[in-house]
Structures are given as structure tokens and as C-alpha cells.
A and B are shown apart, each in its own frame.
Chain A
């Protein structure tokens, strides 16, 4: 099935795929969109593997962010807010928390969403996020502040539940 993959690619994809998916899930707010985003990312990493293998992790992050923002730009005009997500996983103890957070995140502008996911899930510094997004650190700080304010507003009374 995969014997034409270049050396090291499958190990990378298997080891990092799930974490890429988690990031994609928070960015997209939709299981299937996240799957598509990660698959597209892995495909581009595959094509460029020889060139990027020494920094595959960074390259994958960059490709995924670009694809996400590009996808968002294309879909922005027709995108409608929704409170329902197609999470086909069996419920787990944090399922409610996840759905609440995804709902709130999905109401943020895509670039804001990308900033907070990279900052708070991936623990990137402001400078690192700025480099990934092609923005200045000041712009990232500004987006981060606004995103947090919006997130707190959207989460509203659910914050207490989430703290528990």
C-alpha cells in the first residue's frame, strides 16, 4: 500500500498525524474538514519530503496553516455559523467541553482562531506565530487579545463548567 513512500515519511506521518489532526480539529471546528485538512497537509509533505524532511514538523505546520487560511478565505462568503458538529467519536469525559469550545472557536474569525490554537494548544510564542502567519508580532498580539476577549464572551456562562 505504501511501499513507494520515501524513507522516513511514513514514520513522520504516523507519529505526528494525530497531533496535526487535533490542531486541525480546533481550527476547523469540524471532524471531516479537519481530516481533509490533515490529508492535504500530508500530501504536500509527501511531495516535498526530500527537501523538507529535516524540518518536516515545521513545514507541515506551515502548510496546514496556509491551507486552512486559504480554505477559509474561499469559504468565508458562504460559511454559516452552526452549533452542531459532526463528531463521530464515541462520547468521552471531555466531549461536552470539546463541543463547547469548538462552538465558541468556530465563531471567531479564522485568523484569530489560528492564533489562539497555535498559542494555547501548540504553545508557540508570539514571534513563532507571527513567522508562521506572515504577520508582525504586534499584529499577532493584537489578534490574540481580541480573540481571547471574543472567546470569553462566546463561552460566557460555560466558563464555570469548563473550569470544573
Chain B
């Protein structure tokens, strides 16, 4: 019978000659993956808080027979005057009413079908990848190309339960201040403004990494609490290319992506 010492020698022999020629590309890939983790953490941090707040709110409603307190400018995460890069508007995020409920896509295929009707003519999409969403937040990722190079493009639709997770400008600043200082082709910024239908729009230029990779992020919080988020990067983090920056700036403008995020087409 093979002894434990022999087993140990066997294991050692089996891999002692294994070199890993891919280590450098894996380290590079790991850093890009890490940047993506940090970006997602930005969302999940808020979503987790929102879920907790939502659960607590339901408990309050059950106990008192009233609707839970709605979020707004009095959010403990965004006290009045605490907004940093660009002051937030005084308008509170809209309050929901049953009559304002809207129906939004519930599958990746529906998001894709709607998105295709809204993208600029002449643009192309590829490598569409719906993410596994077990928390009710629908995310569709794809490569978007306006003819100048493929970039990461994300559509995120969050149900009303996450309305407390709407990431305010001051929260963005708090989350990004820990990141490594970076170069960028345009300054980080964050602007919030009310829309005529009672929605709140946030336009964000995210922090960038050392290569200048960053996103434009347009989020629209609808009156019923549904959030539609469009994120457009200036590069592509995905394998096999692991390319970083493909364009100096993310394609499109805030106005163009705002029109996409705020389109009635999302309301099925």
C-alpha cells in the first residue's frame, strides 16, 4: 500500500516541473477582473443596503399597517449639502404610488430587444451576455461598437425594492475616494437632476484606472422606484482580448444615453 509519505512525494513530483507561462497575463487579467469587481461592488454595496432597508420597511408596514418611509434627500447616506462633485438637486427621488407602477423587461432577451430599438443607427453589438440575476436585478452586458472600437456596455434594471439603493453623488464620492489615483481624459463628475415625469436622473463619470479606463453611467430612478442604468465604458475588460482602453472617451454623450435610459420603450 502506498504510504502517506509516498503520496506526498507523488503529488510533489507531479507538479514540480509545471511552469506557468501564463502567469503574467493572468496577473494582468486579475487586475482587470479586480476593477470589474470594484465596479460591481459599487452597485452591490448600495443594493445590499437597499434590500436590508426594504426588508425593514416591509416589517414596519406589517407592524403598523402603513407604507415604509420612502427615501429621499433625508437619506442618511446623503445628508443635505453633502453631495460632492456636483451638488445634487433639492428635489427628492420620486415617491411611488400604485397607479404609477410600470412594467419593465424581466428577461435578458427583453432587455436586448428593447435596447436594439434605442441604440444609434450604425452601431453594432456583440458578445451579449445576460448575467445570472438571483436578486431581482436584471443585468445585460455586451460589447458595443460605434465604429471606433468595442467597449463594455451594461444595462441594469433594478426593481422598486432597491429604490433605497439609488447611489447618490455623495455615495459615489465616498466609494471612489479609496481607489488608486488615476489618469483620465475627462474629470470625474456626478450630477443629479429631476425629470419632468418625476424621475431622478444621475449622470456619472466614474473614476478611471491607470490606463484611463472609465465609464459614463446614466441612471434614471422612475417614480415607482424602478431604476434603469446605462453604463458605457471606453474599453473592454473581457477575455480573450483583455483589452483595456479602446477609445479615448466612452462613445456617446450623456444626452444620448439619457434618452436611452429614460425611454418609454422600457415600459412594457
Contacts and interface: CB of A to CB of B under 8 A. Distances in A.
Central interface residue in A44, A46, A117, by most chain B CB within 10 Å: A46
Given A14-B27, A21-B20, A25-B15, A6 B37 contact: no
B210 A4 contact: yes
A18 B24 CA distance: 10
Contact of B34 (A3, A47, A97): A47
A44 B31 CA distance: 9
Interface residues of A, number: 47
A-side interface mostly:
helix
A89 to B, nearest CB: 7
Nearest to B182: A4
Contact of A43 (B4, B13, B30): B30
B126 interface: no
Central interface residue in B4, B26, B29, B182, by most chain A CB within 10 Å: B26
Interface residues of B, number: 35
B11 A14 contact: no
A71 to B, nearest CB: 14
Given A26-B11, A39-B26, A47 B2 contact: no
Interface string B113-124: 000000000000
Interface in B2-32: 2, 4, 6-8, 10-20, 22-23, 26-31
Nearest to B36: A43
B199 to A, nearest CB: 33
A116 B7 CA distance: 9
A40 B34 CA distance: 8
B26 A38 contact: yes
Contacts of A92: 17
B238 interface: no
Nearest to B9: A120
Nearest to B10: A162
B209 interface: yes
Interface string B196-212: 00000000000001110
Interface of A: 1-6, 10, 13-14, 17-18, 21-22, 25-26, 35, 38-47, 89, 92-94, 97-98, 101-102, 116-117, 119-121, 123, 148, 151-152, 155, 159, 162-163
6 contacts: A4-B180, A42-B30, A94-B14, A97-B14, A152-B1, A155-B2
Interface of B: 1-2, 4, 6-8, 10-20, 22-23, 26-31, 33-34, 37-38, 41, 180, 182, 209-211
